[in-house]
C-alpha cells in the first residue's frame, strides 16, 4: 500500500485546514493509498533550530528526526494550504526548510483554498518545492464560497472535487512510475 501524507499547513486558532484536509483524504482511493495526516499545528515544529544546514542531513533534534522520518517514509505528499496575504502560511515554509534530501524526487500535490482558490499560495509553494527538487505533480484550488465554505465544508459535486480525484490518480501513477524505475548500478 502506498503511503500518502497530507500536510495541514495552517496553524491558526479556528482554522478550517483540518476540515478541508479530512475531505481531501476522503477523496483518496483506499485501494491505492494509506492516508496519514501531518498537522503542523499539532507537530509544532519550532522555527529552524538545527545547527547544521538541512542539505547535510545531520539532524540533531528529535523533532527534526521525527519530521524527516514522516516525509522519508511517505510515497507522496499533498499539502493543504490557505492563502494568507497572497501566499502560504509561514509554518509550511519552515517545515519544508527543515529538510532537504527527504524532498528530492518526492511526488507532491498542492490543494489551496481561499477567495481566489489559493492561486498565489499554490504557485509559491510549487516554486519552493521545485527548488528542493520535489516533483510537483499538480495543484487544485478551492474557492470561497462556491467550492468550500468559510467554515470548511467542501462541495463534493464541484469541478474542483473531480480535479482533486484526477490529481490524486496522477500522484499515484507517479508513485507507480518511481517503483518501476530499475536500480542504477
CA gap 14, 96 in Å, rounded:
24
What pLDDT does 94 receive? Answer: 97
DSSP 181: S
CA gap 128, 157 in Å, rounded:
31
Tell me whether residue 81 is in a domain.
yes
79 forms bridges with which residues in the sheet?
7, 110
What pLDDT does 156 receive? Answer: 82
Tell me whether residue 173 is in a domain.
yes
Q: Contact at 8 Å (CB) between 138 and 160? A: no
The pTM of this model reads: 0.94
What pLDDT does 41 receive? Answer: 96
Using alpha carbons, list the distances in angstroms from residue 156 to 4, 27, 110, 147. Answer: 21, 9, 18, 8
CATH number, position 27: 3.40.50.360
44-58: average pLDDT = 93
Q: Contact at 8 Å (CB) between 121 and 87? A: yes
Per-residue pLDDT tens over the stretch 109-143: 999 999 999 999 999 999 999 999 999 999 999 99
Per-residue pLDDT tens over the stretch 75-108: 999 999 999 999 999 999 999 999 999 999 999 9
Per-residue pLDDT tens over the stretch 136-170: 999 999 999 889 998 899 988 888 889 999 999 99
What pLDDT does 99 receive? Answer: 97
Name the pairing type of β-strands 135-143 and 76-82: unpaired
CA gap 18, 41 in Å, rounded:
10
123 or 184, which is more confident? 123
Q: Would you mind telling me the total number of residues written for the chain in this entry?
A: 185
Number of independent structural domains in the chain: 1
Domain that holds residue 95: 2-180
Tell me whether residue 102 is in a domain.
yes
Tell me whether residue 185 is in a domain.
no
Tell me whether residue 40 is in a domain.
yes
Residue burial 8-32, b: 16+ Cβ < 10 Å; e: rest:
bbbbeeebbbbbbbbbbbebbeeeb
Amino acid at each position: 500500500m502506498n503511503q500518502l501524507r497530507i500536510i495541514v499547513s495552517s496553524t491558526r486558532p479556528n482554522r478550517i485546514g483540518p476540515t478541508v484536509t479530512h475531505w481531501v483524504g476522503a477523496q483518496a482511493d483506499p485501494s491505492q493509498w494509506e492516508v496519514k495526516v501531518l498537522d503542523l499545528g499539532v507537530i509544532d515544529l519550532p522555527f529552524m533550530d538545527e545547527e547544521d544546514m538541512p542539505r547535510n542531513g545531520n539532524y540533531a533534534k528529535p523533532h527534526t528526526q521525527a519530521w524527516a522520518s514522516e516525509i522519508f517514509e511517505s510515497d507522496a505528499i499533498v499539502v493543504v494550504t490557505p492563502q494568507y496575504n497572497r501566499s502560504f502560511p509561514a509554518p509550511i515554509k519552515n517545515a519544508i526548510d527543515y529538510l532537504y534530501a527527504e524532498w528530492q524526487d518526492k511526488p507532491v500535490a498542492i490543494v489551496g483554498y481561499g477567495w481566489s482558490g489559493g492561486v498565489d499560495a499554490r504557485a509559491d509553494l510549487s516554486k519552493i518545492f521545485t527548488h528542493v527538487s520535489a516533483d510537483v505533480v499538480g495543484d487544485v484550488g478551492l474557492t470561497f464560497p462556491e467550492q468550500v465554505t468559510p467554515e470548511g465544508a467542501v462541495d463534493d459535486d464541484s469541478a474542483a472535487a473531480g480535479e482533486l480525484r484526477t490529481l490524486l490518480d496522477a500522484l499515484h501513477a507517479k508513485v507507480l512510475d518511481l517503483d518501476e524505475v530499475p536500480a542504477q548500478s
